[in-house]
Structure 1
Amino acid sequence: MTSRNFVLFDVDGTLMDAVANQRRVWHEWAARHGLDGDEVYAVALRTRPVETFAAVVPGRDPDECLALLHTLEDEDVCTGAYAAFDGAAELLAGLPADRWALVTSNYEHRVRGRFERTGLPLPGLIVDAASVAEGKPSPVPYLTAAEKLGADPADCLVIEDAPSGVRSGLDAGMTVWTVNTPAPHPDAHRHFPTLADAAPHIAAALGTGQRIVS
C-alpha cells in the first residue's frame, strides 16, 4: 500500500519572522514584573510560558502572569511587524489542504491573526499550546497532529528551526528538516539555510507517494 506523506510546520522562525515581536512582548512583560528583559527572554525561548513563569517568578500566580502575557501578545498581533519568510506563501498555497498542519507553542487565535496579516494560507489543523498538556520538546504536539490527520508518524515531515522543536519531532518518530538557521541541528535529518531553499523539496515530499527520504 502506498504511503501518504504529511508536512507539519512550526510557525515562528520557520514560516514567519516574529523574533522582534516576541522579544518586545517578553521585555514588556518582564518590565511589568521588575525583571531583566534579556534574562526572561532567554528562558522564554526554551520553555512554554507557564514553565517560564515558574522559573522567573516562582511566587507569582501563573494565571495572572499568563493573562498579562496574553494581553500584550494580543495587542502585538494588531500592532507588531510580521513578515512571512520568502517562499512561504507559494509553498503553503500549493500543498494539499488535508496533508499539512501547523504545530505551534503559540495560541490558535494569535496564529490566525498573524497569518491574516501576512496573507499566508491556513491549513485545516492547528495544534496550539491549548491543544496539548505537554509542549515541545515533548513529542506530544507532533504526535497529536499526526493523530488528528490520521497519519502514521513515520510518514510525517517536520519543518523546524528550534532545538526544542527538532527534539519534539524526532522523539515522535518523524523525519525532521531544519530551516532558517546558519548551522544545522546535529540531529536533524536535513538542513536548508532558508525556507525558500527547502520549499521545492518539501513540495516533492508530498508528491512522491513514497516514504520521505531523510
Structure 2
Amino acid sequence: MLPGPGKCVLFDVDGTLIDAVDNQRRVWGTWAGRYGLDAADVYGVALRTRPMETFAEVAPDQDPGECLALLHELEDEDVRSGVYGAFAGAAELLRALPPRSWALVTSNYEHRVRGRFARTGLPVPPVLVDAAAVDEGKPSPVPYLLAAERLGVRPEDCLVIEDAPSGVEAGLRAGMTVWAVNTPTPAPGVHRHFPTLSEAAPEILAFARSRTGASARYSS
C-alpha cells in the first residue's frame, strides 16, 4: 500500500460521527431483557468491554455464542430501522478532508458502519478498522496502530478523535494525539477537548492539511 499523507485523522464512529448512543442503549436493554438482566447494569459493562467480555461478566451461565448471535440480530435490525443521525458538521468535515488522510476505527462491524453511513450520507474512507480486523479491541492500542499502518503513517503523525474513555486510552497508548468531542467533560489524558464535533471540525481539518498542501476548504 502506498504511503499516505504526512498527517492523518483516525475517527471513532459511534458517539463521534454517528449519534447512536440511544440506539446502543436500547439494543443492550432489549438484549438484557431477553436474559432477565438489569438493562442499566448491562449497558454500564458494555460501555467499557467488548461484547464477549460483557457476556462473561453479566451472563456467565449463558452460551456466549448464543449471546453474540442475539446481539448481532438486534444491532443489524437497528441499522435497518433505527432512528439516528450524523452529528452536525460530520458530513462536511469528512468530505473536506484530503484523500487518504483519514480512517475509521470502530468497535463495531464494517457492514453496520457502511449501513449507517449510507443512511446518513457520510462518505466511507478506504481504510476502516473494525472489530473483525483485530484480536484486541479498545482500550488496546492495536486498532489505532493498525489504521496508521494501513495509511502508511507513523503513530505520532495521527490525530485520534474519540468520545469514550476506552477509545481515548487506546489512542494515547498508541502514541497518538487524542482529542475528545461530543462530551461535556474530557476523559483523562486527552490533549484537547471540544464539546461538539462541529466546534472541533476546523481544527481537525487544519491538522490533516498541515503537511499535505491540500487545497480543500471546510465550510460549516
Q: TM-score range by the shorter chain?
A: over 0.9
Q: List alignment gaps of at least 5 residues for structure 2.
A: 213-220
For residues 16-68 of structure 1, the C-alpha deviation after alignment (integer angstroms, 9 at most, x for no partner) is 11011101110111111111111111110111101100101112221111111
Q: Work out the number of aligned pairs and report it.
A: 208
**Aligned match of 2:39:** 37
With normalisation by structure 2, the TM-score equals 0.92
What residue number does 1:85 align with?
Answer: 87
What is aligned with 2:25?
23
Q: Which residue of 1 aligns with 2:142?
A: 140
Runs of 4+ in 1 over 2 A off after TM superposition: none
Q: Residue in 2 aligned with 1:115?
A: 117
**Coordinate RMSD, CA, aligned:** 1.0
Instruction: Mark the runs of 5 or more structure 1 residues left unpaired by the alignment.
Output: none
Corresponding residue for residue 94 of structure 1: 96
Identity %: 71
- Once the two structures are overlaid, the 10-residue window that deviates more, 170-179 or 96-105, is 96-105
Selected match of 2:57 from 32, 55, 58: 55
| TM-score, normalization by structure 1 | 0.95
**Take 2:49 and 2:188, find their aligned partners in 1: how far apart are those partners?**
20
Match of 2:152 in 1: 150
SS of 2:185's equivalent in the other structure is coil
SS of alignment partner, residue 124 of structure 2: coil
Q: Return the alpha-carbon distance in structure 1 between the equivalents of residues 207 and 22 of structure 2.
A: 32
The structural deviation recorded for 1:162 is 0.5
**SS at 2:193's partner residue?**
strand
> Which position in structure 1 is the counterpart of 2:217?
none
Amino acid across the alignment from 2:133: S
Asked if structure 1 preserves the Cα contact closer than 8 Å seen for 2:165 and 2:188, the reply is no
Cα distance in 2 between the residues matched to 1:185 and 1:25: 25
Q: 2:209 is matched with which residue: 190, 207, 210?
A: 207
